[in-house]
Amino acid sequence: MSFFFHFGRYFLLMKRAFAKPEKLSVYKERIIEEIYILGLGSLTIVSIISIFIGAVITIQSAFSFTNPFIPLYAVGVAMRDSMILEFSPTILSLILAGKVGSSIASEIGTMRSSEQIDALEIMGINSAGYLISPKIVASLLFNPILIIYSMFLGIVGGYLFGIATGVVTNYEYIYGITYDFKPFNVTYALIKSEVFAFIIASVPAYYGYYVKGGSLSIGLSSTKAVVYTSILILTFDLILTQLLMS
Amino acid sequence: MIQINNISKSYKGRSILNDVSFTFETGKTNLIIGESGSGKTTLIRCMIGLSEPDSGEVLFNGRSFYKIDSDQQKEIRKEIGMLFQGGALFDSKTVEENVMFPLSMLTDLSYAERQERANFCLNRVKIENANTLYPSEISGGMKKRVAIARAIAVQPKYLFCDEPNSGLDPKTSIVIDNLIKEITEEYDITTIVITHDMNSVIEMGDNIMFIYKGIKWWSGAKSAILKTDNAEVNDFVYAAEFMKNVKSKL
């Protein structure tokens, strides 16, 4: 019963969030603000994680491929496909679910408990629209950029550390990352990133919006938001992979 | 004028408000008083549409709030200014931006016009040189005054105040009380204040409703509340020792 309650309430909230805005110009400003906070604010962590994961995948692949019949350029192939198919769109979205998701849930939750959401409602402003829709739109606009950026940095990180540690040569790595490249894989990753972007912004917003109580409840709802966002990302990863790759 | 007719509200089987009716007059400071947990905040939430009553109606100048569609409710809400207990200022906005916010969302004024109106309202509540500060950088009394400035920015017809003096020292409380009273008379608006501060009752209680266990127990003016024979009202009014001394001199 609880599942159906939350499911129904989530969709009703989304319907309210995407109702006709009171003033489009204010919403546009809010979207730009959110791109700055949610998107640009995540660049550092995305850069660090992507470079290091790229490096680790390259080194691990090189040490795993001990069979002499497997060419060394397979390291580049494995690296490219791991980054494009799974790491950048999915694992990075899980990390963003933690960083961005908890921030959205606690921000909106604090606004609820300090009556700021009630203040918006009393002014005749659609609080769900004003607070949630700019976050979702910003996430939908910026997440694919973050994912492409992560793919690029992962491949660069793999190259730099692969060459520096001597596990792969310049020629083999470059040959590997260009070998049998399927552009659809990038499309697949971008489709996933858009779905995950919606989940990352909307699910924590839902948990924050319906917080009841004080700081303890905000903390709990922030944790719940991250857990359910992560579960939904993994579930949709499976569904989309089956739908798009089979 | 706001009229409430037979408002009842229960929560999880527990009755919070029971058949409450009252008329809040325009140009007067109408007080809702009562002990903690008596249903004052629930009543005000029912009146402003944050919580729908189980039965009864709320009439804003004859318009029944729960019998009109959401667009018409929105129009009434635009006529309401609300001062929350904690101020409910937006943390991410400066003092000036907080006051400009309802103007940005609800009017077509230019930036310069909004800024001018915001500064006028801030001056009216005697806030100076704080436009660029954030709510976390100002005192509790200043927060309340900024919240009043925000509430009056769109020239409301109705002003609701939920315990405007909570957490304030007696001197600042009087400043806030006087400000609410002055604004009510100056703009001829219907003001409703929830309080359990007897100073406020004596300072600004034009029209008082005493709620006891969710029921409208007593109503009258500030002059009458000090002389009533009602035992529950007397328990509330003369709870403090200094008030007992006042009573002995009446």
* Average pLDDT for A216-222: 93
- Highest mean pLDDT pick, A23-37, A71-85, A224-238, B164-178: A224-238
Q: Does residue A91 carry a pLDDT above 80?
A: yes
pLDDT band at A79 (very low <50, low <70, confident <90, very high): very high
* Interchain proximity A124–B77, CB inside 8 Å: yes
CA distance B182 to chain A (A): 22
**pLDDT at site B249:** 66
Mean pLDDT of chain A: 93
Looking at A120-124, A171-175, B82-86, B198-202, which range is the least confident one?
A: B198-202
Higher pLDDT, B203 or B56: B56
In percent, the amount of chain B with pLDDT more than 70 equals 97
Q: Does residue B169 carry a pLDDT above 90?
A: no
* Interchain proximity A110–B106, CB inside 8 Å: no
A125 contacts in chain B (CB < 8 Å) = 105-106
* Average pLDDT for A123-136: 94
Provide the residue ranges of all domains of chain B, joining segments of one domain with +. 1-79+156-222, 91-154
Q: Does residue A1 carry a pLDDT above 80?
A: no
pLDDT digits (tens, 9 = 90+) for A113-124: 999 999 999 888
* Average pLDDT for B58-86: 90
The H or E element that residue A23 is part of is: none
CA distance A122 to chain B (A): 5
DSSP tag of A182: -
B152 contacts in chain A (CB < 8 Å) = none
B106 lies within 8 A of chain A by CB: yes
Biggest alpha carbon–alpha carbon distance for chain A: 71
Instruction: Calculate Rg over the CA atoms of chain B.
Output: 18
* Interchain proximity B106–A119, CB inside 8 Å: no
Biggest alpha carbon–alpha carbon distance for chain B: 58
**pLDDT at site A176:** 93
* Average pLDDT for A7-11: 95
Q: What is the ipTM of this complex?
A: 0.85
Looking at B6-10, B142-146, B228-232, which range is the least confident one?
A: B228-232
Provide the residue ranges of all domains of chain A, joining segments of one domain with +. 23-245
Q: Does residue B221 carry a pLDDT above 90?
A: no
Fold exhibited by the domain B1-79+156-222? Rossmann fold (3.40.50)
**pLDDT at site B179:** 87
Q: Does residue B164 carry a pLDDT above 90?
A: no
pLDDT digits (tens, 9 = 90+) for B125-152: 888 889 999 999 999 889 988 999 999 9
* Average pLDDT for B184-212: 88
Q: Does residue B198 carry a pLDDT above 90?
A: no
Write out residues 14-53 of B within 8 Å (CB-CB) of A: 48-50
Q: Which pairs with CB-CB distance under 8 Å and at least 24 residues apart come from B181-189? A: B181/B29, B183/B124, B183/B148, B183/B152, B183/B159, B184/B27, B184/B28, B184/B29, B184/B159, B185/B27, B187/B152, B187/B155, B188/B26, B188/B27, B189/B26, B189/B27, B189/B81, B189/B156, B189/B157, B189/B158, B189/B159
* Average pLDDT for A23-39: 91
* Interchain proximity B91–A116, CB inside 8 Å: yes
Looking at A100-104, A175-179, B35-39, which range is the least confident one?
A: B35-39
B148 contacts in chain A (CB < 8 Å) = none
Q: Does residue A74 carry a pLDDT above 80?
A: yes
Task: Say which residues have a Cβ less than 8 Å from residue B227's Cβ, sequence separation at least 6.
Answer: B250
Looking at A139-143, A192-196, B103-107, which range is the least confident one?
A: B103-107
* Average pLDDT for B97-123: 93
* Average pLDDT for A165-188: 92
Q: Does residue B248 carry a pLDDT above 80?
A: no
Q: Which H, E and C letters describe chain B, residue by residue?
A: CEEEEEEEEEECCEEEEEEEEEEECCCCEEEEECCCCCCHHHHHHHHCCCCCCCEEEEEECCEEHHHCCHHHHHHHHCCEEEECCCCCCCCCCCHHHHHHHHHHHHCCCCHHHHHHHHHHHHHHCCCCCCCCCCHHHCCHHHHHHHHHHHHHHCCCCEEEEECCCCCCCHHHHHHHHHHHHHHHHHHCCEEEEEECCHHHHHHHCCEEEEEECCEEEEEECHHHHCCCCCHHHHHHHCCCHHHHHHHHHC
Task: Say which residues have a Cβ less than 8 Å from residue A99's Cβ, sequence separation at least 6.
Answer: A42, A45
* Interchain proximity B88–A115, CB inside 8 Å: yes
**pLDDT at site B250:** 64
